[in-house]
Amino acid sequence: MNIHLFCVMRVRDENKIEALLAEARKMVVEEGFDGLSMQKLAKAAGVSPATIYIYFKDRDDLLIQLYKRETDRFFEYIFRDFDPEMDFATGMTVQWKSRASYVIENLDNTHFMEHFKYSHLHQKAMALRDPKYAEGLKRFVRKAIDNKELVEMPFEVYWSVAFAPLYNLVHYHKAGRNMAGDPFVLTDEMLLQTLSLVLKALKP
């Protein structure tokens, strides 16, 4: 074994990885998981099919890495201004508005993340998640319940009441239609009203 073994090497091209993942996301959002083929992806990203396999073990690995990257970016953003020690109303508002602005500004990324949650790869991908963000939110909720700022409830009930309505509205917005097929555009006013309804539900 040579001491220089890890020194003589050409650098990984991060731009290629970026391009591949961005194109893959676009293809999945536009045509579904069965619309993502490795040869079409290679062409769209301007590389050879073989190059994909330098950076990713296989197709599943590429999708899992993409999901991990998307969730990392998402969590980093929404926890930037959030502190579990905030009082409940402040913390909820910060957390909710961060999520809202991220998903509105990143409709494709959000669509991909939500779509991925229904795939059989989701289980495998969850194992790679950094638990620190979920832990922070859990601590925030536990503290709020202890302080009587939040009705006592399981964490999953809290999460579902607090955030599921937001993602549902954004899904309509991305489609441009509501559940009945009517045209729909999400407004700031609707977002603020939804937040206030959610707070009303959760506060004692």
Q: How far is the CB of 194 from a copy of itself (least distance, A)?
A: 6
Tokens of 175: 């489609």
* Under rule CB under 8 A, residue 172 binds a copy of itself: yes
Q: Which is nearer to a copy of itself, 18 or 135 (CB)?
A: 135
Q: Which is nearer to a copy of itself, 1 or 180 (CB)?
A: 180
Question: Using CB under 7 A, which of 19, 22, 38, 151 touches DNA?
Answer: 38
Contact 116, 67 (CB under 8 A): yes
Choices 45-53, 66-74, 115-123, 131-139 (CB under 7 A): range interacting with DNA: 45-53
Q: How far is the CB of 203 from a copy of itself (least distance, A)?
A: 9
List of long-range contacts for 70-73, beta carbons under 8 Å, 24+ apart? 70/25, 70/109, 70/112, 70/113, 71/113, 71/129, 72/130, 73/109
* Under rule CB under 7 A, residue 120 binds DNA: no
Question: Using CB under 7 A, which of 40, 73, 138, 143 touches DNA?
Answer: 40
Q: Which is nearer to DNA, 48 or 193 (CB)?
A: 48
Query: Under 8 Å CB-to-CB from 56, ≥6 apart: which residues?
Result: 20, 62, 65
List of long-range contacts for 171-177, beta carbons under 8 Å, 24+ apart? 171/111, 171/114, 173/104, 173/107, 174/107, 174/110, 174/111
Tokens of 33: 């998981």
- Per CB under 7 A, residues contacting DNA are 2, 4-5, 7-13, 16, 36-40, 46-55, 58-60
